[in-house]
Amino acid sequence: MPSDSYVTDFFDAFDEYTVRNSVAPYVYFRNVDQADEDMQAQMETYVNDLVAMDAVEEPPENFWLLDLRTYVEEEGLSDLTFEQQLDKFLAEPVYFDLYSGDIVRDEDGKVTTSRVQLNFDNVDLEDVSEQIDVLDEERKVTGSQPVNKDQSTWKFFSYDQIYNIWSFYAVSVEELILTTIIGVVSVTGVALIFVPHFSAALFVLPMICLLYVDLLGVMQWAGVHVNAVSYISLVMSIGLLVDFIMHVSLAIL
């Protein structure tokens, strides 16, 4: 960034004055009866299980379900229905400001979806392996919840946009290996079929492997890591590398 950019100043100030990590996923609850006390207990258990992860230091600062319980006890509203309790709860300006965006209700006042925000303070955004481990642990915790058992679509889950990047990191190595193998086998098959003599494949296969290993070695030496751009470039490079080999082989044969 340019030295006089406000973006640079913002991130400098962010690093200096905050202890919060930039990863702050929301925990979502949907397609369940959130007025049911047993379901509320499962919601609270799920949040506690996520808080028990190494990536999380503290419970959520604001959880509407816990504040609602406290409000009901203090105001003596235990005789009212859950929907009536929630109406009075959200009628309070402070609670409305905090939670109106976290609770979705239908026409009858029933809660269809709600959420609470956590902070992943112990995630090193420079360490890809750690980010993958956090994503794997979050998926294990989420998948182990009773409400999510045998469900094709989870009813309890957490999400942040950075999960998309972490998911890419988690599969990129295996996908790159698979894509490379398919690419090398494909170009070898093309040489075997379309070049006039079968021996062309005997040259194409080892040479493309050698050049590809050289390319990976140069990237490692230059400090270029696998990301979305280098991933696509590596896949495209198979076609570019084989082009020279194929032309020479065809001209000779």
Q: Write the pLDDT tens digit of every residue in 109-128.
A: 999 999 999 999 888 888 88
> By C-alpha distance, which of 188, 184, 113 is closest to 154?
113
Gap between the Cα atoms of 169 and 129, Å rounded:
8
Quick: pLDDT tens for 173-210: 899 899 999 999 998 898 888 888 888 888 889 999 99
Cβ 148 vs Cβ 156: under 8 Å: yes
Q: Is pLDDT above 90 for 22?
A: no
Write the CA distances from 232 to 122, 187, 226, 236, integer angstroms.
Answer: 31, 17, 9, 6
Is residue 179 within a helix (H) or strand (E), and if so which, with residue range? Answer: helix 162-194
Token duo for residue 61: 């600062």
> What is the pTM for the complete model shown?
0.77
Mean residue pLDDT across the chain: 91
Cβ 5 vs Cβ 11: under 8 Å: no
Quick: pLDDT tens for 137-172: 999 999 999 999 988 899 999 999 999 999 999 998
Token duo for residue 138: 């979050």
Cβ 37 vs Cβ 78: under 8 Å: no
Gap between the Cα atoms of 175 and 168, Å rounded:
10
* Torsion angles phi and psi, residue 81, rounded to 5: -70, 165
Quick: pLDDT tens for 25-71: 999 999 999 999 999 999 999 999 999 999 998 899 899 999 999 99
